[in-house]
């Protein structure tokens, strides 16, 4: 395809044939889902050619390659994105039009592959897009979960989780690679056997259970450059010959156990975002995909090289948070026990190969596995970590003699726990945070001891997003307008957006720009009407907060402020008020009670306010069900205001903030995460900043918090809103429904401070900022300038820039070039 090669008639024929051969149907008879399959297979044909060409090139050039290890890849739908990156979207749309098929409708038939929770998983997907587009050899390595992120239904205001059987009809873009299947072993014990020939101890795992890891490859297409990289996700199967063997030996139970283990391991993505749950199955998942990926990587490396001591010259492994940190010990295990390296040699290779990205400072997200669980499940891996820990502690002691407090703080194994972040930092040759502020907090607070001892490892890589999906695909109207004004260079070089700055004083350009936003708001309004049954006014301010539901992200602050505005309008019906639509979208982890209460509260407030005729529709509240990549694209395009209101210091970066900016929505936010850098790029006058600084928050936290009672009893508007949580206003008279939320603000319970996230502390400042938003929006042209400045200044936030920095500072990859 790749446009110049695209042959329309042949493509149409192919689609028809696919429908005939797959379903014995004509186009007219086929269902939407069947047409999606047929079109995707036709597209895949072309992809395969370039995929082969890329692999041949890699064979020939033997470039240094990055393996991006991640428990999550939140890819979103593939069809539209693949067409865009093949630069064939418009041609295919035309071809399908001629067949009476609407490409948008076909795209909507694709299940949204949701093998990720939120920001971390979506970042991995954006990175793969940028790596291919910049022409760098890369594998994504992950798990082929049978069930991805749950689908969210809202019933009676409550979140209900529905399983996401995304593979039900098959995935047309994947290819199963049986030839690369690998065995992964769990449990049992380790026998130590002295080998008189090599004069070494051999460590032999016995009485283990094992599963077969089978990879499925998905193509990752670079934009317009014919490069096709690979996302390799692993499925688990029972090892059948072993099964029979065990069966014959009468060990039926063991055989069945292995069968079950295989089924369980890849069954479901854990829906916890930024939160460590300590589940044994999760540790199994981690070891499963890490062991399989590393085994396959070594086989691939050894095809061309006979000295594994030089692995790091051709291979680098990036660990997406601590979830893949077992890679450290598994690589040591393979190098020592399989490749015969000495400890020091293996350690030298490992510590030149693995690098670690930290995505949070939230204590509850830190992975700390209980030693008994860990050593039972991964006996050999545990031994290796013990040895890494022993040697590391020796180093700490010699560097800081007598400082046992420091040893205790820095140890990898301590208090019966294995601390995965410590392992990742000790072994990693690079440790990076995901926004400048976040990296500074890591260096000077959370990881201070490690920074003291090894400052050279620490670096920052501010996150980014791909403009191919979040502008070209999600917002075609704006994408075409930008291209008309400044050419299409921005597609692979987002810094060119700065050329739009000259249009902020061009009334005609501004009018067009505003009209596009209006059209996008109409599109979202239709979506809301269709899925929520709520009429919203596309001329109202679309004020949007979409992201995972988390206390630190403070959706609660947002909805409390809505309750406050509602009180004001009720008290002063004559008061001027610019109509506002507050739009929320958020999934809560299934077991996160307070997050679920917040969803219920938002829906209850929506019910009351949306049905109150007396306010003349001045406020509408919409909770969009099942927020996910596909509807996110529609939502960003339509937003006027981007709510980024996390408690300062808590949001490592945020990436939604960048997607809003790219689509022309100014940030209403705290000085947290990447917001800081967004403001730096766009100018403070084109954002609405409020609240405590991260220093202030950290200061309060280090000194026992603050006292919300001082605010609650002194600010009557705030007290009224907080009291409305328990006076039945939003719960048909039920005073208990929101008691826990109320308590979280004003009462200390147990370990937990009242108002841990400084909601009341920041409330006034937030309300003021909201007032400034309203004032600014009244000046329609002034607002359009701010919005356009956001688009014009978003260049830094392309994941292309982020990836180039990873390549320059950490990975040092070689380029690949694929000829058409
Ligand atoms: I740790 N993040 C996430 O989505 N899930 C996690 O388990 C962890 C972190 C997020 C952070 O919360 C965001 O601030 C950040 O932008 C994103 O990771 C990507 O770095």
pLDDT, tens digit, for every residue of 27-69? 999 999 999 999 999 999 999 999 999 999 999 999 999 999 9
Residues 674 and 658 sit within 8 Å (Cβ to Cβ): yes
> What is the whole-number distance in angstroms between the Cα of residue 548 and the centre of ligand 1?
10
Q: Output the DSSP codes for 676-716.
A: HHHHHHH-GGGSEE-S--HHHHHHHHHTT---THHHHTT-H
Q: Where are the alpha helices (DSSP H) in 454-542?
A: 467, 476-486, 507-532
CA dist., res. 121 & res. 711, Å (int): 38
Phi, psi of 210, deg, nearest 5 = -140, 160
> What is the whole-number distance in angstroms between the Cα of residue 373 and the centre of ligand 1?
26
pLDDT in tens, 223-253: 999 999 999 999 999 987 654 555 566 678 8
The pLDDT value given to residue 252: 81
> What is the whole-number distance in angstroms between the Cα of residue 285 and the centre of ligand 1?
19
Among the options 226, 275, 359, 587, which is catalytic? 359
Q: Where are the beta strands (DSSP E) in 589-659?
A: 619-623, 641-644
Q: What is the average pLDDT value for the chain, to the nearest integer?
A: 96
> What is the whole-number distance in angstroms between the Cα of residue 387 and the centre of ligand 1?
31
Instruction: Report the pLDDT averaged over residues 95-108.
Output: 97
End-to-end CA, the chain: 10
pLDDT in tens, 688-707: 999 999 999 999 999 999 99
Phi, psi of 111, deg, nearest 5 = -65, 145
368-370 and 158-162 strand pairing: unpaired
> What is the whole-number distance in angstroms between the Cα of residue 740 and the centre of ligand 1?
26
CA dist., res. 713 & res. 233, Å (int): 55
Q: Output the DSSP codes for 264-328.
A: HHTTB----SS-----HHHHHHHHHHHHHHHHHHHHHHHHH-S-GGGHHHHEEEEEESSTTTHHH
CA dist., res. 529 & res. 524, Å (int): 8
For a mutational test of ligand 1's pocket, the pick from 441, 586, 587, 652, i.e. the residue with the most ligand atoms closer than 8 A to its C-beta, is 652
Give yes or no for residue 444 having a pLDDT over 90: yes
- The alpha carbon dihedral of 245, 250, 251, 253 has a sign of positive
Name which residue sits closest to atom 13 of ligand 1, judged by CA: 654
CA dist., res. 394 & res. 416, Å (int): 19
Is residue 43 classed exposed, middle or buried when 0-12, 13-18 and 19+ CB atoms within 10 A define those classes?
buried
At residue 3 the predicted structure's pLDDT band, cuts being 50, 70 and 90, is very low
Phi, psi of 732, deg, nearest 5 = 45, 45
Active site residue 548: yes
CA dist., res. 182 & res. 213, Å (int): 5
CA dist., res. 124 & res. 682, Å (int): 26
Instruction: Report the pLDDT averaged over residues 789-808.
Output: 99
Structure tokens that stand for 170 in this block:
């098959």
228-237 and 138-143 strand pairing: parallel
Is residue 775 classed exposed, middle or buried when 0-12, 13-18 and 19+ CB atoms within 10 A define those classes?
exposed
Structure tokens that stand for 634 in this block:
């529609």
Structure tokens that stand for 188 in this block:
């049992």
The pLDDT value given to residue 750: 80
The pLDDT value given to residue 244: 56
Give yes or no for residue 518 having a pLDDT over 70: yes
Task: Name which of 762, 758, 734, 731 is nearest 744 in CA terms.
Answer: 758
> What is the whole-number distance in angstroms between the Cα of residue 359 and the centre of ligand 1?
5
Instruction: Report the pLDDT averaged over residues 332-338.
Output: 98
CA dist., res. 451 & res. 29, Å (int): 64
Residues 83 and 43 sit within 8 Å (Cβ to Cβ): yes
Is residue 409 classed exposed, middle or buried when 0-12, 13-18 and 19+ CB atoms within 10 A define those classes?
middle
The pLDDT value given to residue 257: 86
Instruction: Report the pLDDT averaged over residues 7-20.
Output: 95
Give yes or no for residue 5 having a pLDDT over 70: no
Which domains are delineated in the chain?
1-61+77-111 (no CATH), 62-76+112-463+805-811 (3.40.50.2000), 484-704+754-797 (3.40.50.2000)
At residue 749 the predicted structure's pLDDT band, cuts being 50, 70 and 90, is confident
Instruction: Report the pLDDT averaged over residues 628-650.
Output: 98
**Residue the block writes with tokens 């024929």:** 13
Active site residue 659: yes
Question: Torsion angle, CA of 5/11/14/18, rounded to 10 degrees?
Answer: 120
At residue 274 the predicted structure's pLDDT band, cuts being 50, 70 and 90, is confident
Cα 155 versus chain centre, distance:
26
Active site residue 553: yes
For a mutational test of ligand 1's pocket, the pick from 70, 71, 119, 629, i.e. the residue with the most ligand atoms closer than 8 A to its C-beta, is 119
Among the options 54, 133, 581, 655, which is catalytic? 655
> String of b and e for 136-152 (b: at least 16 CB within 10 Å)?
bbbbbbbbbbbbbbbbb
Among the options 553, 561, 785, 796, which is catalytic? 553
Active site residue 312: no
Among the options 438, 596, 650, 659, which is catalytic? 659
Instruction: Report the pLDDT averaged over residues 372-396.
Output: 98
Using DSSP, state whether 580 is helix, strand or coil: strand
Q: Can you tell me which atom of ligand 1 is nearest the CA of 646? A: 14
Q: Where are the beta strands (DSSP E) in 555-649?
A: 580-585, 619-623, 641-644
The pLDDT value given to residue 249: 65
Among the options 44, 284, 521, 547, which is catalytic? 547
Q: What ipTM was reported for this prediction?
A: 0.95
For a mutational test of ligand 1's pocket, the pick from 116, 274, 318, 672, i.e. the residue with the most ligand atoms closer than 8 A to its C-beta, is 274
Of residues 333 and 254, more confidence is placed in 333
CA dist., res. 113 & res. 100, Å (int): 27
* Alpha carbon distances (Å) from 519 to 194, 516, 548: 74, 5, 27
Instruction: Report the pLDDT averaged over residues 599-618.
Output: 97
Using DSSP, state whether 724 is helix, strand or coil: coil
> What is the whole-number distance in angstroms between the Cα of residue 125 and the centre of ligand 1?
13
Active site residue 572: no
Lining ligand 1 with CB less than 6 A are 117-120, 123, 273-274, 321, 359-360, 365, 434, 463, 651-655, 673
């Amino acid at each position: 395809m790749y446009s110049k090669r695209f042959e329309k008639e042949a493509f149409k024929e192919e689609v028809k044939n696919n429908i005939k051969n797959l379903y014995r149907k004509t186009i007219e008879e086929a269902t939407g889902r069947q047409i999606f399959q047929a079109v995707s297979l036709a597209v895949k044909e072309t992809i395969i050619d370039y995929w082969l060409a890329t692999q041949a090139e890699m064979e020939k050039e033997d470039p240094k390659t990055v393996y991006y290890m991640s428990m999550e890849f939140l890819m979103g739908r593939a069809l539209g994105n693949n067409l865009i990156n093949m630069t064939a979207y418009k041609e295919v749309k035309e071809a399908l039009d001629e067949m009476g098929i609407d490409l948008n409708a076909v795209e909507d038939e694709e299940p949204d592959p949701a093998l990720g929770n939120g920001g971390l998983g979506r970042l991995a997907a954006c990175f793969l897009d940028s790596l291919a587009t910049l022409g760098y050899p890369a594998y994504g390595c992950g798990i082929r979960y049978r069930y991805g992120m749950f689908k969210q239904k809202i019933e009676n205001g409550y979140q209900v989780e529905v399983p996401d059987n995304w593979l039900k009809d098959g995935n047309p873009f994947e290819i199963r690679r049986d030839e690369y299947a690998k065995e992964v072993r769990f449990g049992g014990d380790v026998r130590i056997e002295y080998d008189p020939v090599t004069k070494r101890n051999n460590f032999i795992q016995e009485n283990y259970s094992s599963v077969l890891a089978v990879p499925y490859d998905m193509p990752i297409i670079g934009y317009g450059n014919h490069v096709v990289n690979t996302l390799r996700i692993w499925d688990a199967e029972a090892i059948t010959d072993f099964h029979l063997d065990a069966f014959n030996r009468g060990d039926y139970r063991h055989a069945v156990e292995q069968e079950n283990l295989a089924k369980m391991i890849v069954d479901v993505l854990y829906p916890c975002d930024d939160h460590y749950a300590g589940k044994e199955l999760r540790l199994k998942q981690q070891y499963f995909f890490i062991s399989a990926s590393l085994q396959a990587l070594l086989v691939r490396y050894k095809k061309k090289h006979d000295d594994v001591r030089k692995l790091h010259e051709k291979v680098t492994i990036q660990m997406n948070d601590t979830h893949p940190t077992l890679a450290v010990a598994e690589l040591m295990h393979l190098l020592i026990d399989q490749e015969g390296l000495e400890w020091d040699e293996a350690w030298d290779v490992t510590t030149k190969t693995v690098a670690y990205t930290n995505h949070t400072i939230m204590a509850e997200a830190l992975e700390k596995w209980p030693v008994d669980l860990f050593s039972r499940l991964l006996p050999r891996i545990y031994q290796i970590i013990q040895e890494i820990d022993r040697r590391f502690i020796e180093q700490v002691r010699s560097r800081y003699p007598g400082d046992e407090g420091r040893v205790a703080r820095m140890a990898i194994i301590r208090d019966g726990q294995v601390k995965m972040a410590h392992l990742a930092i000790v072994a990693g040759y690079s440790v990076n945070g995901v926004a400048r502020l976040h990296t500074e907090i890591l260096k000077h607070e959370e990881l201070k001891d490690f920074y003291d001892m090894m400052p050279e490892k620490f670096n920052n890589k501010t996150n980014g997003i791909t403009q191919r999906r979040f502008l070209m695909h999600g917002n075609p109207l704006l994408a075409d307008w930008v291209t008309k004004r400044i050419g299409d260079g921005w597609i692979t070089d987002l810094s060119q957006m700065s050329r739009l700055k000259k249009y902020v004083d061009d009334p005609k350009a501004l009018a067009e720009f505003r009209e596009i936003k209006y059209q996008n708001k109409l599109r979202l309004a239709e979506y809301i009407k269709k899925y929520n049954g709520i009429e919203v006014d596309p001329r109202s301010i679309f004020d949007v907060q979409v992201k995972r539901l988390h206390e630190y992200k403070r959706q609660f602050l947002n909805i409390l402020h809505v309750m406050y505005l509602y009180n004001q309008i009720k008290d002063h019906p004559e008061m001027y008020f610019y109509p506002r639509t507050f739009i929320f979208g958020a999934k809560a982890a299934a077991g996160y009670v307070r997050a679920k209460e917040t969803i219920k509260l938002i829906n209850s407030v929506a019910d009351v306010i949306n049905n109150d005729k007396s306010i003349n529709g001045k406020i509408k509240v919409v909770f969009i069900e099942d927020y996910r990549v596909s509807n996110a694209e529609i939502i960003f395009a339509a937003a006027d205001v981007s709510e980024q209101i996390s408690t300062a210091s808590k949001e490592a970066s945020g990436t939604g903030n960048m997607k809003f900016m790219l689509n022309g929505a100014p940030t209403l936010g705290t000085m947290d995460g990447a917001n800081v850098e967004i403001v730096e790029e766009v100018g403070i006058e084109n954002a609405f900043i409020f609240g405590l600084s991260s220093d202030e928050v950290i200061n309060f936290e280090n000194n026992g918090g603050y006292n919300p009672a001082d605010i609650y009893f002194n600010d009557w508007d705030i007290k009224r809103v907080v009291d409305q949580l328990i006076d039945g206003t939003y719960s048909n008279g039920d005073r208990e429904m929101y008691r826990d939320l109320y308590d979280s603000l004003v009462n200390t319970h147990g370990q937990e401070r009242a108002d841990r996230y400084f909601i009341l502390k920041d409330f006034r400042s937030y309300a003021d900022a909201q007032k400034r938003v309203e004032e600014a929006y009244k000046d329609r042209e002034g607002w359009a300038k701010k919005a356009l400045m956001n688009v014009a200044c978003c260049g830094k936030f392309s994941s292309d820039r982020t990836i180039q920095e990873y390549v320059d500072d950490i990975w040092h990859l070689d380029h690949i070039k694929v000829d058409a």
